[in-house]
A and B are shown apart, each in its own frame.
Chain A
Amino acid sequence: MKQFAWQVVRKGWFIALVIFLWWLITATAWVDPYKLPGPGDVLSTLGALFTERALMHDLGATLLRLVEGFGIGVVAGVLLGVLTGAAPFLEDGIRPVIAGLQAVPTIAFLPLAILWFGFNGTAVLVITAFGTFKPMAIATYSAIHQVSPTLLMAGRSMGARGLFMQRTLIVPASVPNLVTGLKLSWSFAWRALMAAEIVVAGAQGLGGVLELGREIGAIDVVMAVIIVILVVGIVTEQLFFTRLERWVNRRWGLVGAR
């Protein structure tokens, strides 16, 4: 218990300081409360958003889009990555194209997506999937290239070939690097999604509420939504991906191996 309290102090002191300073400058009316509402105001707005505006629905819509877009992007990225690694002429042809696309920020494709799919949630979903797809394809391709040559030789010597080898050796051997790619792609997806939602504000979602807050000049709403976005980011990163990574690294013998 004492240990836990110490951990909280160690990890929480800076954030506590920031919140205190934030409270201090708003409580002493140093800055105009219309420019910067206090922590208490933002917190009560956050509560009100959940009870009155049903922010839950926006959060749900955003998360659904994130999961769908990320899922589609990951599947497509892995497939293309595996294909790219399968033969030299595929590698030579496909790799520069993906690398080129990755040089363009995903949000730059949003106008195109809106023209093709309309000013709606579909365009946002497509952009999220596309934002996931690019880093995932690159990560998959490089993960496949990093499979230990000894494991490949062992597989070959035991008679593994072609598709069997891809399925039972190359893909599973790539998993630790794929998980790293997954984590990276998730953060790309999250960024692309927020940017797209802010532009396509009519669709339900956190980005739309953010944009609405700006339109009506409600800084407390904007800040409350930023807090929600922050929490979603931390929860997925820490609770899901960090744990997944730890488990995989252990199982694949990358840490804790004797």
Chain B
Amino acid sequence: MAAALRVIDVSKTYARSDQPALTATSFDVQPGEFTSLVGPSGCGKSTLLAMIAGLLMPDTGSVEALGEKVTGPGKGRAIVFQDAALFPWLTLERNVEYGLRAHGVAKAERREKVQQALRMVHLDDVASKHPYELSGGMRQRASIARALVLEPKILLMDEPFSSLDAQTRVVLQDEVQRIWLETKLAVVFVTHNLIEAAFLSDTVHLLSSSPGRIIKTYAIDIPRPRDEADPALLDIRHDMLERLRAEVTDAARRRAEIAEVTA
């Protein structure tokens, strides 16, 4: 089976920074596979996602989505942003419709697809409300509907729950799991929450910072639906924490060595 997404030796260094945000990184995502990129801030996970989305061009390497080289945003890849990024002047319905309008879909078809997407996230009863009238969780669900309506093959999620309270977060994690089970999309999910990554994913790539890179990959074959309190998940989380701790110690030692050399 051909991979839905291939990330091939992708790297990125931002101007005015001496450290690469991401050193050459490669991984594949199979059709229907749920992959998470997890790590502390500055590990390059959001940079990586932006390059997969086609919103940012890599310095080296390339991204192939659905067999084609990524040169910009494409209809097969939809993104859910951290703070929902809904358009505040539009109703939910119009927000969800936006991508279809941009792609020139006919009105009757748009209406039907919007209805369907809103039902999928249980927001059909508030379709005519504006974002400011909704809670953070509802806004984030709306932004998931806005991505799903484009019928992507690959769903990209950039820390979608990090600004939500703990309860809402748990509800939405279940929702994402349910939607993924229904649609069987390939998902790339960025988060700094280790347990969230383990709970949702088939594959977790653990990243570390300075420079950003993948330090370990976990295959998680616990059957679904899963329970966040599953001991197997907690074991994986524990291992990830150990790895990150070792990284921090390493980095501190390296810094100390450098300091010694320069002194």
Residues of B within 8 A of A161 (CB): 102
Q: Are A159 and B136 in contact (CB under 8 A)?
A: no
Chain B contacts with A in 64-108, Cβ cutoff 8 A: 72-73, 75, 77-79, 81-83, 85, 87-90, 98-99, 101-103
The answer to whether the Cβ of A35 comes within 8 Å of any Cβ in the partner chain is no
Q: Are B85 and A150 in contact (CB under 8 A)?
A: yes
Q: Are B98 and A168 in contact (CB under 8 A)?
A: yes
The answer to whether the Cβ of A253 comes within 8 Å of any Cβ in the partner chain is yes
Q: Are B73 and A253 in contact (CB under 8 A)?
A: no
The answer to whether the Cβ of B131 comes within 8 Å of any Cβ in the partner chain is yes
Residue from the list A159, A164, A173 in contact with B87, Cβ < 8 A:
A173
Q: Are A150 and B81 in contact (CB under 8 A)?
A: yes
Residue from the list A153, A158, A168, A256 in contact with B132, Cβ < 8 A:
A256
Residues of B within 8 A of A155 (CB): 98, 102
Residues of B within 8 A of A258 (CB): 132, 134-136
Residue from the list A153, A250, A257 in contact with B81, Cβ < 8 A:
A153
Residues of A within 8 A of B150 (CB): 158-159
The answer to whether the Cβ of A36 comes within 8 Å of any Cβ in the partner chain is no
The answer to whether the Cβ of A195 comes within 8 Å of any Cβ in the partner chain is no
B99, B102, B130, B136 interface centre (most CB from chain A within 10 Å): B102
CA distance A252 to B86 in the complex (A): 11
The answer to whether the Cβ of A113 comes within 8 Å of any Cβ in the partner chain is no
Q: Are B98 and A151 in contact (CB under 8 A)?
A: no
CA distance A168 to B130 in the complex (A): 16
CA distance A151 to B101 in the complex (A): 16
Q: How far is the CB of A151 from chain B (nearest CB, A)?
A: 6
A148, A172, A257 interface centre (most CB from chain B within 10 Å): A257
With A158-B146, A250-B132 in contact, is A153–B88 under 8 Å at CB?
no
Residues of A within 8 A of B79 (CB): 153-154, 157
Residue from the list B54, B103, B132 in contact with A253, Cβ < 8 A:
B132
CA distance A154 to B98 in the complex (A): 10
Residues of B within 8 A of A251 (CB): 88-89, 130, 132
The answer to whether the Cβ of B55 comes within 8 Å of any Cβ in the partner chain is yes
When C-beta atoms are compared, the residue in chain B nearest to A148 turns out to be B85
The answer to whether the Cβ of B190 comes within 8 Å of any Cβ in the partner chain is no
Q: Are A252 and B98 in contact (CB under 8 A)?
A: no
The answer to whether the Cβ of A145 comes within 8 Å of any Cβ in the partner chain is no
Interface string of A136-176 (1 = CB under 8 A from B): 00000000000010110111111111001000110011010
Q: Are B102 and A172 in contact (CB under 8 A)?
A: no
Residues of A within 8 A of B132 (CB): 250-253, 256-258
CA distance A251 to B89 in the complex (A): 6
Q: Are A175 and B89 in contact (CB under 8 A)?
A: yes
The answer to whether the Cβ of B53 comes within 8 Å of any Cβ in the partner chain is yes
Residue from the list A150, A158, A172, A250 in contact with B83, Cβ < 8 A:
A150
Residues of A within 8 A of B130 (CB): 251, 253
CA distance A161 to B136 in the complex (A): 28
CA distance A155 to B53 in the complex (A): 12
Q: Are B81 and A253 in contact (CB under 8 A)?
A: no
With A153-B85, A172-B87, A252-B89 in contact, is A159–B99 under 8 Å at CB?
yes
CA distance A156 to B77 in the complex (A): 12
CA distance A173 to B81 in the complex (A): 17
Residues of B within 8 A of A160 (CB): 98, 102
Chain A contacts with B in 100-152, Cβ cutoff 8 A: 148, 150-151
Q: How far is the CB of A179 from chain B (nearest CB, A)?
A: 12
Residues of A within 8 A of B85 (CB): 148, 150-151, 153-154
Q: Are B102 and A173 in contact (CB under 8 A)?
A: no
Q: Are B98 and A253 in contact (CB under 8 A)?
A: no
CA distance A157 to B53 in the complex (A): 7
A156, A157, A252 interface centre (most CB from chain B within 10 Å): A157
Please name 10 pairs of A and B residues whose Cβ atoms are closer than 8 Å in the assembled complex, sorted by A. Answer: A151-B85, A157-B54, A157-B77, A158-B150, A159-B75, A159-B99, A160-B102, A172-B87, A173-B89, A250-B132
What 10 new A-B contacts, CB under 8 Å, besides A157-B73, A159-B75?
A153-B85, A156-B72, A159-B99, A160-B98, A168-B102, A172-B87, A172-B89, A252-B88, A252-B89, A252-B132
Question: CB within 8 Å of B: which residues of A?
Answer: 148, 150-151, 153-161, 164, 168-169, 172-173, 175, 250-253, 256-258
